[in-house]
């Protein structure tokens, strides 16, 4: 989509704030100014995940589909998970899950995207010891009607999908029974999915969430009134983003009252350099994996590695307040 619009009321703000054209060939939208927000609520001083140790070895990766529907909103959900057997190689459909209990990360795709567009990154998360569940949204996915305003309904979609995914841990006969660390949950998303993710920590706070990762996101429509228990946040944004201006992502990041960090990509655009360029993807992947190891496993050693991974090879700069 390539409409150009100007910021007025909420609806027009959503249409213009970089949600239009989340695909790689999108045009640059007009500038915007975020609405004023009340001061953030007081946060607890430390993250709520207790100390622990993340897996030291990589896993194989399995994938499966979960058919979900929230009040008539079809939400087919792709789940990547650590699989038994040798690490590396092709992702195996419906493979047996690895032994252990693994934190869950809910991932939200961008406008005109689908979960499989992010498979390279998300399978790396799964190989590192995370169960990654990614709904396909009914109006903003590729081939849907492109109703941008429906982004405001997506935080509730993610919360619903999370409930259904966590229920698999106790479902007799399910391949993920006894494999989910149901008390260690994060959310992540790109572009419109980044808006969705921010919403899960602001206007639609899901208290089950312990951490967030926002790729090329903005807070327009969901606000920056971050609420609830402390949940560390990692923002990743290209400084040459042609769809959502870097300053818009930085403005949302600045409002986060919790431990936070921002990985800035001086040569990064909205998606290609962020998730497509091999060298950049390695930095983004390694940094986000170590962040999730720390924030969801409570691994203190992983926290020490985050900054090193983020600043490798002069690909990115790192603002670290974790």
What's the mean per-residue pLDDT of the chain? 88
Question: What are the φ and ψ backbone dihedral angles of 97, each rounded to 5 degrees?
Answer: -70, 150
Cβ count near 28 (within 10 Å): 15
- pLDDT per residue over 72-81, tens digit each? 999 999 999 9
Integer Cα distance of 302 and 288 in angstroms: 10
Q: Which of 13-17, 27-31, 129-133, 170-174 has the lowest mean pLDDT?
A: 27-31
Integer Cα distance of 312 and 263 in angstroms: 12
Nearest by Cα to 26 from 125, 134, 148, 120? 148
Nearest by Cα to 49 from 205, 230, 257? 230
- Cα torsion for 307, 213, 209, 250, to the nearest 10°? 90
Segments of the chain assigned E as strands:
60-66, 69-70, 73-74, 77-83, 92-93, 102-108, 131-135, 180-190, 209-215, 233-238, 260-265, 317-321
pLDDT number for residue 11: 39
pLDDT number for residue 43: 44
Contact 135, 76 (CB under 8 A): yes
- pLDDT of 42 > 60? The answer is no
* Domains of the chain (ranges, CATH numbers): 10-21+58-321 (3.40.50.1820)
Contact 57, 27 (CB under 8 A): no
Question: What are the φ and ψ backbone dihedral angles of 279, each rounded to 5 degrees?
Answer: -65, -45
- pLDDT per residue over 270-286, tens digit each? 987 777 789 999 999 99
What do you get for the CA distance between the two ends of the chain, in Å?
36
What pTM was computed for the model?
0.89
Residue 35 three-state SS: coil
Confidence of residue 50 (pLDDT cuts 50, 70, 90): confident
pLDDT number for residue 179: 98
Largest CA distance in the chain: 54
Classify residue 101 by burial, with Cβ atoms within 10 Å: 0-12, 13-18, 19+.
middle
- pLDDT per residue over 190-246, tens digit each? 999 999 999 999 999 999 999 999 999 999 999 999 999 999 999 999 999 999 999
Integer Cα distance of 254 and 269 in angstroms: 20
């Amino acid at each position: 989509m390539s409409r150009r619009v100007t910021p007025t009321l909420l609806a027009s703000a959503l249409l213009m704030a970089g949600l239009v054209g989340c695909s790689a060939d999108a045009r640059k939208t007009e500038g915007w100014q975020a609405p004023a927000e009340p001061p953030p609520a007081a946060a607890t001083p430390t993250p709520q995940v207790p100390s622990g140790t993340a897996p030291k070895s990589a896993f194989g990766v399995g994938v499966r589909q979960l058919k979900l529907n929230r009040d008539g909103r079809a939400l087919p959900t792709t789940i990547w998970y650590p699989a038994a057997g040798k690490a590396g190689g092709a992702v195996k459909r419906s493979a047996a899950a690895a032994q252990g209990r693994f934190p869950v990360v809910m991932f939200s795709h961008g406008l005109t995207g689908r979960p499989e567009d992010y498979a390279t990154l998300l399978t790396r998360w799964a190989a590192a010891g995370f169960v990654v569940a990614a709904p396909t949204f009914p109006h903003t996915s590729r081939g849907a009607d492109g109703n941008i305003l429906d982004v405001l309904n997506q935080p509730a979609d993610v919360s619903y999908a999370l409930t259904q995914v966590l229920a698999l841990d106790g479902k007799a006969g399910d391949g993920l029974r006894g494999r989910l660390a149901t008390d260690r949950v994060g959310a992540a998303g790109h572009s419109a999915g980044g808006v969705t993710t921010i919403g899960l920590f602001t206007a639609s706070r899901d208290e089950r969430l312990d951490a967030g990762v926002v790729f090329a996101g903005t807070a327009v429509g969901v606000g920056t009134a971050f609420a609830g228990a402390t949940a560390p946040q990692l923002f990743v944004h290209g400084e040459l983003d042609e769809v959502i201006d870097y300053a818009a992502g930085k403005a949302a990041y600045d409002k986060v009252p919790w431990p936070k960090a921002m990985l800035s990509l001086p040569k990064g655009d909205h998606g290609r350099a962020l998730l497509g360029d091999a060298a950049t993807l390695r930095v983004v992947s390694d940094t986000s994996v170590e962040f999730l190891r720390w924030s969801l496993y409570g691994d203190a050693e992983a926290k020490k590695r985050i900054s090193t991974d983020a600043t490798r090879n002069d690909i990115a700069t790192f603002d670290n307040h974790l």
